[in-house]
Structure formats: structure tokens, C-alpha cells
Chains A and B, each alone.
Chain A
Amino acid sequence: MDEKILKELRLILGNEGVSTGQSVRELHSHDESFHTPVLPDVVVFPKNTDDVSRVVRLAYDNDIPITPWGVGTSLEGNPIPVQKGICMDFQGMDKVLAIRKEDFQVDVQVGVVYKELNKMLSRYGLFFPPDPGAAATIGGMIGNNASGIRTVRYGATKDCVMKIKVVLYNGDIIEVGSRARKSSSGYNLCALFIGSEGTLGIVTEATLKLTGLPIGFMALRAVFTEVIDATDTVFQVMSSGLTPAAMEFLDGDVMAVLNKDRGLSLHEKPTLLMEFHGYSDEGLKPELSFVEDICRENRCIFLDKGIGAAERTRLWEMRHLTLESIKRSHPGLMPLIMDVAVPLSRYSDMVGYIKNAVKGLTAYVFGHAGDGNIHVIVMDDPKDRARWSLVEKANEDIVLKALELEGTCTGEHGVGIGKRHFLRIEHGEGLDMMKKIKDLFDPKGLLNPGKFFL
């Protein structure tokens, strides 16, 4: 990169805010996916929105690509700086700006890690519900519209972000959304930026909608012989008027990996993990017996259950870090992660199709069943062309099947690099509209280039 540009960056951010060191650039060359790493020319560390604005303006004037970076926990190559240029790391923007307990809101800079935020908010009896699991930052979660196991009750990131500050392509700073819980004024630009993966503008601050921490907890682990019995249980619970706070499906193979990796001895069969929140532990008793009845009617062969926070922790412990357990069990291999979502009634068809499509591969099926979201992790070696092409073929088949079942190619991981070629199939003419919007917000094509569009 031009020394003159580096000098200007140092002028804006100070020497400590600009790095061209090999190891720093390497750290910012990949996320947690198999996509080919690309090193940025320089990594910058802004401290506030003004810094971001000045760097973006400089990049715009000099035609330099710019890719925002949270902590790189994404799964589709979303923050890989494929056209090099500037990688903008938000770790220096990790301040909580204001907590408004009475409004159930918090203002943050986007470098805040959501787990840290929730630790702090717990003192106020509040939490920010989306929980992608990894150590994601709020900025990354907004970029990908992340969700997690609690989304079935509390919504995805989009549902919990009220207002954002965004730096546009030319350095202009705008605020979109509002702190009110409802709005019908003007176009919903806030929704447009959320999930746009940094391709339309760079989000620097956000007002988040919080929820009161639940007081009562109830959890169940239900084991079934057939996938269809588990998914029937999901519909019936979802349509009974109960509102589960989490509803996870894990196939038998996943249970087997967890047993081996963690020294557990759980049933290695299709399993549902459920969690319910309530006003008190006591108040959840009738719900528990109701859910138990539904499980038994669907030929559940084993049921572990409990009421209270300690029981919830016990039952859920094994679900955390599933991806890490799978990776650990296959050293030397890389994961291809699928993230299809389908309407609820198609869930068992989809799981059935997937199991057939991945025969002969090392594949694991699990997901947020309450949302119709299924993850398939295939472990293999991207360098072994013959093997990897089988993996890619399975990916292609599974996504096309999901679309045929009126589903989507990605429920929560985003498009990034990996899902670009499915956009035309899924959106048809809608994709042309998206491209026009991209051109409008990023006329020079410098914001996280190489993503979304082929």
C-alpha cells in the first residue's frame, strides 16, 4: 500500500491505530470458514465514529477497498478482505455508551462483544437476547443479522436493534431507526443495513432493545427413535400456545460426537432440547407436564427434565460449543457449514433429504428446530479436490432442496462468499433491485467488495 496513504491513516488514527505487520494482517485474513484467506494491506483500529468517517472518506478518495471486522467468528467468509485494501477492526470501539434501564435500552459502540455486554447487563436484570454462540461483536451480529437458540422466542438481531449510526461510502454519518418501540415514519433503512454485511455502509454505534432476565426456568431433553417423531413434537409444542425460549434438534451422530468429545453417555438418537422461561419456577409446572404429554404422545423413548436455573444449566451444558466439539473430533479437516431454513412443516422432509444427500460424507445435522433452521456441518479437506467437490455437490443439492421446499439458503449465517451463487435462484428479479441499492449506497464498490454479488 502506498506510503502516502499509510501516513494519512496514521495522522487520523495515531501510530498505534494502524498496523501493517504480517501477523496482524494474517489474523485478519480469514474467518471460521474454509474460504481462502486473503491478507489486507493494512489493518486499522478506529476509536470512534469520527475516525471511521475519516478513514472511509480517505478510502473513497483513493479508491481503496474497505472491509469491516468484528472478531472473525463468521462462517461464510463475510469479513475476508478479498480485494485487500483496508481491514477495519472495531476492537477499539467497545464502549457501552449509556444504559437506559427504564426504557429497556442500551447504547453501544459496535466493537462490544455480546457476551461481555450481557454479563454487564445482568446486574440490571436485563439482557440482549440474540445469542449466536461464538464470541461475536454487536457489529458483526448486525452485519449478519445473527440469531441463535433463543431466537424462537426473542427474535433475531433485527428484532432487537432500534437505532444505528452508519458511516456511508463518502464518510457521511447518518442515524437511522429510532428509540421508540414503534415507527411508521419513512422507509425502514435500519432494516436495510441490518444483515447487509457491511456492503452498504459501516455501522459504528447501536441502540439495542433489551429484555428483562427471566426468573423461572424449565428445560427438557427428549430422545426419539425417529426424526419425524421429534419434528412432530416441535410442531405440536409450537402450535399449542406455549412459547419455548429454545427448541434445538440434534441428530444421533451429533450426540455420538458429544459423548466422545466430552465423556458423556447420552442416547445417540434424534434428540430435542427445550427451554421455557416464565414469571416463576412454580408457574412453569403446568407447562412442563403439558410438554411431557406432547413428547410421550410422539413416542419419546427417554425424557430428562428439570425446573429451575441449575437444572436448565445441567440439561443444556452439552449443547454449548457443539461446533467446537465436532471440529476437535476431526483434526486436520475443515468444516463446510450449511444453514438452510424451511417452513416448520417441511423440517422432517428436509432432515430426511439431508441425511440421504450426505451419505458417505462425515456430516452432522442439528439446528434451531423451533425456527425451521437446520445446520449441516460436513468435515473434509478442501485441498483434496475430489473429496471437496462431493461436499460442494451435497451443499448445492441441499440448498436447492430447501428452496424447493419454500425455504432459504441461509437462515442466520449470511451470504458472504459462500452463498452468492444462490441469490439469483432465491430472489429472482428481487436481486436486480438489491444490486441497484448496492450501487446507490456504494457507487465505487469499495465497501466489503466481493460479497453478496457474483
Chain B
Amino acid sequence: MLKESIINELQRIVGKENVLTSPEALKAYSYDGTTSWIHEPDVVVFPTTTQQISDIMKLANKEKIPVTPRGGGTNVSGGSVPWFGGIVLCTTKMNKILKIDKENLTATVEPGVVLQDLTLALAKEGLFFPPDPQSFLGATIGGIIAENAGGPACVKYGVTKQYILGIEAVLPTGEIVNLGGRTLKNVVGYDLLHIFISSEGTLGVITRAELKLNPIPPAKKTTMVVYADVAKAGEGVFRVLENGVIPDKIELLDNWVINRIEEMMPMGLPKDADAVLLFECDGIPEAVDKETEKITEIVKKYGAVDVRVAKDMDEANRYWLARRAGFAAVFGKAKTVFAEDVTVPRGKIPDLINKCKELAKKYNVEIVVLGHAGDGNLHPAILTDITNQEHYGRAVKAMDEIIEEAVALGGVLSGEHGIGLEKQKFLKRQLDPVVIDMMKKIKALFDPNNIMNPGKIWE
């Protein structure tokens, strides 16, 4: 519980209407997109300016109160859960798009802007912001930066960090700093900007961001490729890329996911396929046609059993709706789901998929695979039930082995979801203790009192 005087001070800073302490409110801000971790804050505040955030941080730093920044709360590794209570600093009222600069292909935004709102505003100008986490209806720019989010389009366009030119941030001690700039190149001094990106709110609060945009390509074409063997689908991914075709999306759905989607909303997916790959090419129309022809030729050569090029936008949209429904399909089918986020070098995708199959047999659990195959970022999901101790125990073992295998294959344990609370015990396996020590020292430099989203990243 926070002292009455602290609550009063917060009310003075952000206004009474922007401070919540009711039990319902505290409950609502106690979990993220997964509900796997729950901890209530003592108070939720909604600042509307950078100066207010600075004042909140100064107060919290003086009183040593934990502060957990939060955007839409759609994250999936516990990053926005206030694990030690204190203040949840919610940026959703700072949701203005300050500037869209068509000449420079940049936008200046507040951290609480929801990705979908940004996408719609940019579309009117013929522009887009390439990172596309599938939670775009709720995810905010601040959260997207803090987690270095990715999505299907990353295979061609790269992840969030490649689209952030600069940020304004409030440090845990209340100082306001500008990191990066507005230029496309910048080699002045240490790259603190990239230390902030994917730091999961542990180094400060992002209060403004300068985004790099792309013009919307004039044409798109979707191709669905059907496989009788999921590992062959994995191979199809790097065969296409090594032949010089760079689609903007390559997504994989396995047999289990295909069938659940067909049960939820029949859309003519091949139910007997072991896996499908969805390709999307974008660019000028002639190039898109040529690339699609080339994909068809390559995948046929490397073991695809069927290729369906979407004949119109309707058909293409159906396929992509299926992909987006994938997560819901998985989460709807089991009490507890371990949704992994391992990422391996692309050449190792078939190895990882085969390992998942082997582990499913070994531990007698259902392991389904869907994900951003083009990046080597698979989301193997293990279906289990936390109330069934015996089954849950087997699932945990299978999950541990998947992560170990991914790291052994030269991969990382989180491609886009972040470490948060979920993956802390695995961080040690991936990183050298000296490296973790360096990270902790950097954390201490920025946040001497450890008030900024404490309890995350490290155990």
C-alpha cells in the first residue's frame, strides 16, 4: 500500500481523473496478454505529458516506489505486469500522432498510439510502418519499441529497431533525454537508442518516438503452398530465399492448426496437409508476378504437393485471416498453452521442427507449430493443463528441451516477445554470465534504485 500522501502527490501531477486506485482498476492492470502472471499494482496513473512522467519518476525515485510502464497490455511475456506492485504508468492517454512527414518518410508519435490507428492514418498518405505484431489492434508504439516487436512482414522489412530513428525518454531519475535523431544515418557516440529498444521498460519510459516509414507498395500477391511433410515446408523457406526472392511474408501453419481453424471457420484450407506455407510478395505489379512465378517453380522443385496462388484480394485475405486466427485456435483448445518464441537461423528450421515432433512423441504432449518461418521465428505451442500436474510436468520438460535445442542450433530463446517474467530462467542458458553482469551494471547506471519495472529480464 502506498501512503495517502503519495497518491495525493500523483493526483497533483496528473490530475485526479488520471489516477486509479479502485480494486477493479487494480485487477484490470494486474496481467498482460497471457494471464499467466498476475500481480496488482497499488495505483494506476495516466500521464498526458512528458513533464508529468518526469515528475512521477522523480517522486518514485525519491520514495523508491516501483514503476511499471504499460501500453495496451497485449504483450505475452509478462513484461508489463507490476511484479512488485507500486505504480503502473499507463501511456494510453498519450496517443497523439504529432506529425506525419511525407517528404522525409517519418512520423513523430506519442507512445500510447495504437498501431492500428497509426496504420490507418498512414494509409491515407500512402505510407506504412513495417513492424506488424499480430496484436496490432491493441499494441501501442511504446510497447512495440520496448519489446522490439516483430511480425510476419519482418522477413523482408526487418524488426522494430530498424524503424526507430530516435526517441525521447524519461530516465528513472526523472531526466528527459533524446536518443538517436531524425536522420537515416548517425554514428555519433554510443548507440544508447538501441539499448533502450527491447529493454522492456527497465531503463526508462519512452515518451515520444520518431518512426521511419515506407511507401505502400502498389501490388501484393499471396500464395499458399501445401506440404505433406512439415520439415519440407521448413526447407521451402530457405530455398526460396536463397534463390534471391524476398517475399514480405512467409508464414507456416501445421496440420493441427489448419484443422482447428477449419473447425472454427471453414475456409477451404487443405485439412490433410502436414503443413502449409503462406507467401506474400509486394512491390510493383510486374515484379510481384515474376516473384510469385519463381516461388511456384522453387517450391515445386523442393517437395511441395500443391501451390495455390490467390486469384484476388478476397482469397488472399482469407488466407491471412486464417494465419491471424492461429493463436486464438491454439489458446482456445487447451487450459494452458506454452507459446514459445524461439528463433533459429533459417537453415535450421527443419531441424527444429523435427525436434518438436520427436519431443511430442517422447513426452506424449501435443506440440503445434505456426510462425514467422521466413525469419526462423517459430512459435511452437505446447498444449497442457496447469491443473493436471502430471501432464503439466511433461509439457514443461518438452518446453525446456525445445529451448535448449533452439540455442544449440545457434538461435535465441525469444525472437520478438521479450524476456519479461516468462523466460528469465532461460536467459542464463543463452548468455554468458559476464554479459548478464554487464547488462545488470548498465541497468544500475540508469536506474540506481531499481525502481524501473523491477523483477523483469533477470531472475
A interface residues, Cβ below 8 angstroms from B: 100-105, 125, 144-145, 147, 151-152, 155-156, 158-159, 168, 172, 174-176, 178-189, 191-192, 194-196, 200, 212-215, 235, 238-242, 278-280, 283, 286-287, 341-345, 368, 371-373, 406-415, 419, 422-423, 426-431, 433-434, 436-438, 440-441, 452
Contact status A180-B182, CB under 8 Å: no
Contact status A192-B377, CB under 8 Å: no
Contact status A187-B188, CB under 8 Å: no
Q: Contact partner of A413 among B187, B416, B445, CB < 8 A?
A: B187
The residues of A that contact B410 with a CB separation of less than 8 Å are 178-180
The residues of A that contact B386 with a CB separation of less than 8 Å are none
Nearest CB in chain A: distance from B174 CB, A: 11
Contact status A186-B457, CB under 8 Å: yes
Instruction: Give Cα A22 to B416, complex, Å.
Output: 53
Known contacts A181-B376, A185-B423, A279-B245; is-contact A407 B284 (Cβ 8 Å)? no
Known contacts A373-B185, A412-B185, A433-B192; is-contact A185 B414 (Cβ 8 Å)? yes
Contact status A433-B445, CB under 8 Å: yes
The residues of B that contact A241 with a CB separation of less than 8 Å are 214-218, 283-284
A and B contact pairs by CB, cutoff 8 A, 16 listed: A156-B185, A176-B435, A180-B345, A186-B435, A186-B436, A189-B439, A191-B194, A239-B215, A241-B214, A283-B290, A406-B182, A410-B186, A411-B187, A415-B188, A426-B188, A440-B442
Nearest opposing residue in chain B for A124, CB measure: B242
Instruction: Give Cα A168 to B441, complex, Å.
Output: 14
The residues of B that contact A159 with a CB separation of less than 8 Å are 158, 162
B interface residues, Cβ below 8 angstroms from A: 101-106, 147-150, 154, 158-159, 161-162, 171, 175-179, 181-192, 194-195, 197-200, 203, 214-218, 238, 241-245, 283-284, 286-287, 290-291, 294, 341, 343-348, 372, 375-377, 410-419, 423, 427, 430-432, 434-436, 438-439, 441-443, 445-446, 457
Nearest CB in chain B: distance from A34 CB, A: 20
Q: Contact partner of A158 among B176, B191, B214, B432, CB < 8 A?
A: B191
The residues of B that contact A428 with a CB separation of less than 8 Å are 177-178
Contact status B183-A342, CB under 8 Å: yes
Instruction: Give Cα A159 to B212, complex, Å.
Output: 15
Q: Contact partner of A147 among B185, B347, B434, B435, CB < 8 A?
A: B185
The residues of A that contact B216 with a CB separation of less than 8 Å are 241
Contact status A182-B435, CB under 8 Å: no
Known contacts A180-B343, A187-B439, A188-B161; is-contact A407 B182 (Cβ 8 Å)? yes
Nearest CB in chain B: distance from A75 CB, A: 11
Q: Contact partner of A183 among B177, B290, B415, CB < 8 A?
A: B415
Nearest opposing residue in chain B for A286, CB measure: B286
The residues of A that contact B199 with a CB separation of less than 8 Å are 187
The residues of B that contact A423 with a CB separation of less than 8 Å are 188-189
Contact status B411-A195, CB under 8 Å: no
Instruction: Give Cα A407 to B106, complex, Å.
Output: 14
The residues of B that contact A176 with a CB separation of less than 8 Å are 435
Contact status A279-B294, CB under 8 Å: yes
Instruction: Give Cα A423 to B186, complex, Å.
Output: 12
**Total A-B pairs, Cβ < 8 A:** 279
Contact status B187-A195, CB under 8 Å: yes
Contact status B377-A279, CB under 8 Å: no
Instruction: Give Cα A411 to B432, complex, Å.
Output: 32
**Of A105, A187, A414, A426, most B-chain CB atoms within 10 Å:** A187
Nearest opposing residue in chain A for B431, CB measure: A186
Nearest CB in chain B: distance from A363 CB, A: 21
Nearest CB in chain B: distance from A412 CB, A: 6
Contact status A372-B434, CB under 8 Å: no
Contact status A343-B182, CB under 8 Å: yes
The residues of A that contact B185 with a CB separation of less than 8 Å are 147, 151, 156, 341, 368, 371-373, 408, 411-412
Contact status A174-B215, CB under 8 Å: no
Instruction: Give Cα A388 to B384, complex, Å.
Output: 74
Known contacts A102-B346, A200-B190; is-contact A345 B414 (Cβ 8 Å)? no
The residues of A that contact B194 with a CB separation of less than 8 Å are 158, 188, 191-192
Nearest opposing residue in chain B for A430, CB measure: B177
Nearest opposing residue in chain B for A280, CB measure: B290
Nearest CB in chain B: distance from A275 CB, A: 16
Known contacts A104-B346, A181-B346, A181-B376; is-contact A195 B183 (Cβ 8 Å)? no
Q: Beyond the given A372-B185, A412-B187, A426-B188, please list 16 additional residue pairs across the A-B interface where CB-CB is below 8 A.
A: A102-B238, A158-B191, A174-B438, A181-B375, A183-B198, A184-B417, A184-B418, A189-B438, A214-B244, A342-B183, A343-B101, A344-B105, A345-B101, A371-B183, A373-B184, A408-B188
Nearest CB in chain A: distance from B334 CB, A: 25
The residues of A that contact B291 with a CB separation of less than 8 Å are 279
Known contacts A433-B192, A434-B189; is-contact A407 B181 (Cβ 8 Å)? yes
Instruction: Give Cα A232 to B186, complex, Å.
Output: 22
Known contacts A184-B198, A184-B414, A279-B294; is-contact A196 B377 (Cβ 8 Å)? no
Contact status B415-A180, CB under 8 Å: yes
The residues of A that contact B238 with a CB separation of less than 8 Å are 102-103
Ranked nearest first, the 3 interchain pairs of A and B with the lowest CB-CB distance are A102-B347, A191-B194, A411-B185
Contact status A192-B195, CB under 8 Å: yes
Contact status A100-B345, CB under 8 Å: yes
Nearest CB in chain A: distance from B423 CB, A: 7
The residues of A that contact B416 with a CB separation of less than 8 Å are 182, 184
The residues of A that contact B102 with a CB separation of less than 8 Å are 239
